[in-house]
Structure formats: structure tokens, C-alpha cells
């Protein structure tokens, strides 16, 4: 059984993110895509537009000095332009570390990501890490 193209797109995004390949990652988003990050910290908010999203990803790398690691647990699609992914993120920032489960809800139109909603297992832990 082959993977649905929307799920394959999300997996390509994860591969590019982990490799730090921002050029490939950028190609997966529409120009007006939006990434919604929950919480009350330096990275939370609505990152509107491909360039803002790429800036968000670059900032994650900078803030964690490249220590961010992602382990994919599942990528699930509905065949109608929606994909849910679940992963465990690990990173260090200064003298603080985090290991947290996260979920991303993607909307995909025409083979490109138009919207991502991020959910986290423990919002308080996430806020404390990124403050």
C-alpha cells in the first residue's frame, strides 16, 4: 500500500526540517501559508507567509543551537487535504532541556501546505522552555 501524496508531502517537510534544508522546506508551502504556534512565549503566535514561517524555523535552530531533534510517531491523512502528524521533539536551550510530544494539523491545497496548527502535550512546559 503506498502512502497518500499529502502524507508524503508532510514527511518530506519533516526530512527537510531535520536536515536544515530550508530551500526544500520553503517549496512545500504556499506564499500565504500560516503556521499557528500555541502558548505564550517567544515563538508563539501566527506566522503568516512563507518567509515568516521559514524565519520561525530558523529561529528554532538559533535558539536551540541546532540541538532540536524530531522523532516522527505517525502521519495520518484523510485524503481530502488534511494531515495530522505526531512527533516527539527534543532540544536544549541554555541550561534547560525539553522532550515533548507534539501534533501538527496540516491543510494542503494543490500539493502545498497552506496552514499548520500546532498542538503540544504540555503547554506549560512548552512556555517555560521558550521563555
Q: Model confidence over 9-20: pLDDT tens digits?
A: 999 999 999 999
Other Cβ atoms within 10 Å of 53 Cβ, number:
20
Residue 39 CA to residue 51 CA, distance in Å, equals: 21
Place of cell 535558539: 63
Question: pLDDT, tens digit, for every residue of 73-110?
Answer: 999 999 999 999 999 999 999 999 999 999 999 999 99
Strands (E), 2-129: 29-37, 45-48, 69-77, 82-93, 96-109, 112-120
Domains of the chain in sequence order: 5-130 (3.10.450.50)
Q: Is the pTM of this model over 0.85?
A: yes
Q: Whose CA is closest to 90, among 73, 114, 76, 111?
A: 73
Residue pair 120/100 in contact by the 8 Å Cβ criterion: yes
Amino acid at each position: 500500500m503506498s502512502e497518500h501524496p499529502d502524507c508524503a508531502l508532510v514527511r518530506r517537510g519533516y526530512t527537510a526540517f531535520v536536515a536544515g534544508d530550508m530551500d526544500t522546506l520553503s517549496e512545500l508551502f504556499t506564499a500565504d501559508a500560516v503556521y499557528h504556534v500555541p502558548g505564550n512565549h517567544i515563538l508563539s503566535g501566527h506566522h503568516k507567509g512563507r518567509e515568516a514561517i521559514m524565519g520561525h524555523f530558523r529561529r528554532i535552530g538559533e535558539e536551540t543551537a541546532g540541538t532540536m531533534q524530531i522523532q516522527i510517531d505517525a502521519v495520518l491523512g484523510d485524503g481530502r487535504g488534511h494531515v495530522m502528524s505526531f512527533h516527539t521533539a527534543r532540544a536544549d536551550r541554555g541550561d534547560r532541556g525539553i522532550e515533548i510530544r507534539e501534533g501538527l494539523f496540516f491543510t494542503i491545497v494543490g500539493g502545498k501546505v497552506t496552514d499548520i496548527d500546532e498542538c503540544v502535550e504540555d503547554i506549560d512546559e512548552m512556555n517555560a522552555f521558550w521563555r
